[in-house]
């Protein structure tokens, strides 16, 4: 068997798409016109698949901060945090993140992937147990595999299944690492964190929550689902990313536990990679201040999210279980999904086409990400484009 035989199914799919003249994967954004518009694969489109939830990629404060950092500190650090890559701004951002989350300390990573993968692979190792939600992100799964711990999945968003599996562990439950997300990235469904926290209090465990898709949009201060559900004191570690609501690249972990500073010096994903560029740190610090100072962005985001969700639902599309800034329609037939993605592009709407095995259900998804920067007119144009699609709609008409 050739080393490359395992890639043949991927090559077959790519060849089929090339034959159809469709390029949903790795679509090239040739020009960014604003936080919500661009030219993708030659089409001028509304960007409805970018995770730019608060629209901060073009915020003047963020851009000015990044430019100032470029002028004063250059384009990169050329070193890891453990070598020459810790600038004063990196330490300042960590303190600001800790203050924002009302936590003891924080760690800044170069990407969100490294944050989730790094914490998962470091906190639990051989002889330890990880209980994670079955629909957790690939970066979490990768971290769990790297660490060498025993990994057990519990049913998605099912606290009773989590409790059952914890009780089976007996005395080992007290030191079991429990991992869930605030909002799940594919269907936009929210975790029942209050119930998960109650199970942890009853059975034991160490709780890590990924708030990547909920930072800046939920809770009184925008800290995410844990704040919204009032269970922050039950969460041992919160991880997340700068690449969504904060409009940059990078990741973080915050914690009320003093052990986080000990863990810092064992995380290979932190020790052996270059630290984030000064401009990225600067724009992220500005964006974090904006989340605290401009709650109206959160209000606009949810207004847009409810309009898109309710509009698609009324048209009969099968969508996620609740309104969310992630609004995905499920399409059973792969060819229909590909054709629909292409038709949306032709009509000036860019969304994400997600296909198995990346989807939690085994079906294809046309996944939209709503932004506070979307105008009401843009949301209506997205709905009109979806309404024109000739695909099966098996949702409930209202």
And the tokens for 219? 């809770």
213 in active site: yes
Considering 121, 139, 185, 277, which one is annotated as catalytic? 185
Q: Among 265, 239, 242, which residue's Cα sits nearest to residue 254?
A: 239
Phi/psi region, residue 225 (left: phi>0; alpha: psi -120 to 50; beta: rest), is alpha
Q: Among 387, 313, 317, which residue's Cα sits nearest to residue 347?
A: 387
292 in active site: no
And the tokens for 165? 């599996």
Q: Among 243, 256, 196, 250, which residue's Cα sits nearest to residue 216?
A: 243
Q: Within 10 A of 5 (CB to CB), how many other CB atoms are there?
A: 8
Q: Within 10 A of 275 (CB to CB), how many other CB atoms are there?
A: 25
* Backbone Cα Rg of the chain: 21
Q: Apex CA 244: angle with CA 53 and CA 239, to 5°?
A: 125
From CA 155, how far away is CA 161, in angstroms rounded? 6
Contacts of 45 by beta carbon, 8 Å cutoff, 6+ apart: 37, 38, 39, 345, 348, 349, 350
Give me the helices (H) in 31-153, please.
Answer: 60-73, 88-100, 112-123, 138-147
Considering 110, 139, 214, 244, which one is annotated as catalytic? 244
From CA 96, how far away is CA 159, in angstroms rounded? 33
Between the CA of residue 213 and those of 51, 52, 78, 325, what are the distances in Å?
8, 10, 30, 8
200 in active site: no
On the CB side of 177, CA atoms within 13 Å amount to 26
Sole residue written with tokens 């942890």: 200
Considering 137, 200, 213, 313, which one is annotated as catalytic? 213
Q: Within 10 A of 205 (CB to CB), how many other CB atoms are there?
A: 24
**Catalytic residue numbers?**
185, 213, 244
């Amino acid at each position: 068997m050739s080393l490359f035989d395992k890639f043949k199914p991927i090559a077959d799919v790519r060849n089929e798409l090339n034959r159809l003249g469709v390029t949903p994967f790795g679509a090239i954004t040739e020009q960014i016109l604003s936080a919500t518009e661009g030219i993708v694969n030659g089409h001028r489109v509304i960007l409805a698949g970018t995770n730019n939830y608060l629209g901060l990629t073009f915020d003047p404060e963020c851009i000015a901060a990044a430019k100032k950092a470029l002028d004063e500190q250059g384009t990169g650090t050329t070193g890891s945090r453990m070598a020459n890559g810790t600038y004063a701004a990196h330490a300042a951002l960590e303190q600001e993140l800790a203050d924002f989350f009302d936590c003891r300390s924080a760690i800044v990573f170069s990407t969100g992937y490294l944050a989730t993968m790094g914490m998962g692979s470091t906190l639990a190792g051989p002889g330890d147990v990880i209980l994670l939600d079955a629909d957790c992100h690939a970066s979490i799964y990768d971290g769990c595999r790297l660490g060498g711990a025993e990994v057990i999945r519990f049913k998605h968003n099912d606290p009773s299944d989590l409790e059952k599996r914890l009780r089976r562990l007996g005395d080992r439950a007290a030191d079991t690492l429990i991992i869930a997300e605030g909002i799940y990235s594919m269907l936009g469904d929210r975790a029942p964190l209050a119930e998960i926290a109650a199970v942890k209090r009853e059975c034991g465990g160490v709780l890590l929550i990924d708030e990547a898709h909920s930072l800046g949009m939920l809770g009184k201060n925008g800290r995410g689902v844990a704040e919204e559900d009032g269970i922050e004191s039950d969460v041992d570690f919160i991880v997340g990313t700068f690449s969504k609501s904060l409009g940059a690249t990078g990741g973080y972990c915050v914690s009320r536990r003093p052990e986080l500073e000990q863990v810092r010096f064992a995380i290979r994903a932190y020790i052996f990679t270059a630290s984030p560029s000064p401009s990225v740190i600067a724009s992220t610090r500005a964006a974090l201040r904006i989340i605290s100072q401009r709650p109206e962005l959160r209000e606009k985001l949810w207004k847009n999210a409810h309009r898109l969700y309710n509009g698609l639902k009324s048209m009969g599309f099968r969508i996620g279980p609740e309104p969310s800034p992630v609004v995905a329609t499920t399409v059973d037939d792969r060819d229909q999904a590909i054709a629909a993605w292409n038709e949306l592009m032709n009509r000036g709407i860019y969304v994400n086409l997600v296909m198995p095995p990346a989807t939690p259900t085994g079906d294809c998804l046309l996944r939209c990400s709503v932004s506070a920067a979307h105008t009401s007119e843009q949301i209506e144009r997205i709905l009109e484009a979806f309404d024109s699609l000739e695909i099966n709609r098996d949702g409930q008409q209202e």
